[in-house]
């Protein structure tokens, strides 16, 4: 459990430090090209959830998303206590990302996004360290759910069961 807490705290701190740098050195809406045609550092405020969904809705939306984040963190904490090491790591990434974005939502009423990937006309919505941690955590959980064996029970991976 201590390792899970450390992972979550490191993610939340890294997220907040990088966002503080962005807020300090860029003005809202500013973009600086790091790799032409591929990667920019930007300063955007996301009032919605992932990738800007629920972006309209005012204070009711902010309250809703804050409550959902808080409930999710409690559920994740319970799941971590009952999980194997790999699942606990994935859940810790998700928790750290959720904390990082929750801090933004409480401080600013929005989430600071600053990583901007694009290639030609393809443009991914801006994101941050917290979003990345959440995404990696979810991908790990999906992998563990469908492809990894359950060593404790000896059950084969679910993909073998589905064949």
Residue 151 burial (10 A CB sphere; 0-12, 13-18, 19+): exposed
116 is catalytic: no
Q: Spot the catalytic one: 15, 104, 113, 116.
A: 113
Measured CA to CA, the distance from residue 72 to residue 98 in angstroms comes to 8
Contacts 24+ apart (CB under 8 A), 13-20: 14/129, 15/96, 15/97, 15/100, 15/101, 15/128, 15/129, 15/130, 15/133, 16/100, 16/103, 18/114, 18/128, 18/129, 19/100, 19/104, 19/112, 19/114, 19/128, 19/129
150 is catalytic: no
Please give the helix or strand (H or E) that residue 71 lies within, else none. Answer: helix 58-82
Q: Spot the catalytic one: 15, 104, 116, 131.
A: 131
Active site residues: 113, 131
């Amino acid at each position: 459990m201590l390792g899970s807490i450390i992972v979550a705290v490191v993610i939340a701190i890294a997220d907040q430090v990088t966002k503080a740098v962005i807020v300090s050195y860029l003005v809202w809406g500013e973009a600086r090209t790091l790799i032409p045609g591929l990667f920019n550092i930007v300063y955007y405020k996301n009032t919605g959830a992932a990738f800007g969904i629920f972006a309209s809705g005012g204070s009711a939306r902010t309250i809703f998303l804050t409550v959902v984040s808080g409930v999710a963190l409690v559920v994740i904490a319970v799941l971590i206590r009952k999980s194997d090491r790999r699942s606990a790591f994935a859940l810790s990434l998700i928790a750290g990302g959720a904390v990082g974005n929750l801090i933004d939502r409480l401080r600013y009423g929005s989430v600071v996004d600053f990583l901007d990937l694009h290639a030609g006309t393809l443009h991914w919505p801006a994101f941050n360290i917290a979003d990345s941690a959440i995404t990696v955590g979810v991908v790990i959980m999906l992998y563990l759910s469908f492809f990894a064996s359950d060593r404790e029970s000896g059950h084969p991976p679910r993909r073998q069961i589905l064949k």
